[in-house]
Amino acid sequence: MPFFELQQELEARAAQGLLRQRRTLDSPQSPHIVVDGKPYLSFCSNDYLGLANHPRLVAALQQGAAQYGVGAGAAHLVSGHSAAHHRLEQALAAFAGKPAALLFSTGYMANLGVVQALVGKGDTVFADRLNHASLNDAMLLSRAEMKRYRHNDMAQLAALLEQTQAGRKLIITDAVFSMDGDLAPLPELLALCERHDAWLLVDDAHGFGVLGEQGRGSLAHCGIASERIIYMATLGKAAGVFGAFVAAEQVVIDTLVNHARSYVYTTATPPALASAVLESLKLIGQGDALREHLRNLIAQLRSGLQGLRWELMPSDTAIQPLLVGDNQAALALSEGLRERGIWVAAIRPPTVPQGTARLRITLSAAHTGSDVEQLIGALHELAQ
């Protein structure tokens, strides 16, 4: 039995400061969490609007369970597609400004499904080097040719597109980069798609609900729309629930229903989750004040951390990574904050490139100005 080998691999990771371990929360998701029995002020969830524990979502989930039960019982194409799923898909399509939408169990599965359904052997996928792991895995699974371009490097992407002859072309990108917080140049990407007759898959996991008027996401934020864009967003981050959706032209959605393996061969999510997301969509749409508060907190953090030993990476979004560099140093900083009652996760390779370990600070509309002050104070203390 190769257990010994596995043990050695884990020990090697630990020696490099790369071992990953889970901590157990005893509380709901919120800026104030209880971990292993101790209270902490948390800056590492993706619950950007503070909806994950919102009483209206809790009530909607309970009401959904009372109406539809718990399990969906089957895949969508068998007997698992409920009226709650259907209503939610229509609402998501309208919210995203697209003709149709399709629910997936998770964002990871949505990305796998879309790329695998739309391209294959003989086609080419163009991908930003800093894309989320699920987009990278999706490319591999699709068996299309893979061309990765330097982060947001439109000149390199244009050259790669120029050289590519055959097949379908699909550009895939995070809209808000998950570990960096910066935005993809979506208008330029769309212009390249038009010039080269390519599709654009936009993964808006961190923009949906947070950016744009009424929280409609990164496309609204940039003021672009096109039939070429396949829009994907997750429902477990700002929306505060679970799952993901893809919004696109009807023919694309019909293709996914027929060919996306991560859609076809899996059990539908509990319909009650769809009831909760429907309620969340209302709160997101009415959440301009939350988003404004969030923008103020971002500005407060950025100005409060000026001149600190470690620098915040360039980002205007709720993701504010503090670049540390060394793995052990990032862990030590995270530990130093923890001793001061503050929870911020250290992000290390291979999630981020070698030598760019960082604290991924995320802000939420549920934070207060004094929460952010506390973080700023603790980081200045630790920098001494």
Ligand X SMILES: *Cc1c(COP(=O)(O)O)cnc(C)c1O
Q: Which residue's CB is nearer to ligand X, number 61 or number 202?
A: 202
Active-site positions?
A: 178, 206, 237
Q: Does 320 bind ligand X (CB under 6 A)?
A: no
The torsion region of residue 90 among left (phi > 0), alpha (psi -120 to 50) and beta comes to alpha
Pairing mode, if any, of strands 124-128 and 169-174? parallel
Rounded to a whole number of angstroms, the minimum distance from the CB of residue 273 to ligand X is 12
Closer to ligand X by Cβ: residue 136 or 374: 136
Spell out the alpha helix ranges (H) of the chain.
Answer: 3-15, 55-68, 83-96, 107-118, 133-142, 154-163, 186-196, 218-222, 250-259, 261-264, 271-285, 288-304, 327-339, 369-383
Q: Among 113, 209, 236, 270, which residue interacts with ligand X (rule: CB under 6 A)?
A: 236
Chain residue at closest Cβ approach to ligand X: 107
Which residue, 43 or 379, has its beta carbon nearer to ligand X?
Answer: 43
CA–CA distance, 45 with 50 (Å, rounded to integer): 10
Separation between Cα atoms, residue 100 and residue 70, nearest integer Å: 26
Query: For ligand X, which stretch binds (CB under 6 A), given 202-210, 261-269, 328-336, 355-363?
Result: 202-210
| Number of helical H runs and strand E runs in the chain | 14, 14
Which residue bears the tokens 């004094």? 370
Among 106, 173, 262, 362, the residue binding ligand X under the rule CB under 6 A is 106
Which of 132, 221, 358, 367 touches ligand X by CB under 6 A?
A: 132
DSSP 255-276: HHHHH-HHHHTSBPPPHHHHHH
State the minimum distance, in angstroms, from the CB of residue 206 to ligand X. Answer: 6
Convert residues 155-194 into a mask of x (bound to ligand X by CB under 6 A) and - (unbound). Answer: -------------------x---x----------------
Q: Considering the complex, state which of residue 199 and residue 208 has its C-beta at the smaller distance from ligand X.
A: 208
How many other CB atoms are found less than 10 A from the CB of residue 314? Answer: 10
Contacts with ligand X, residue ranges (CB under 6 A): 106-108, 111, 132, 134, 174, 178, 203, 205-206, 234, 236, 244
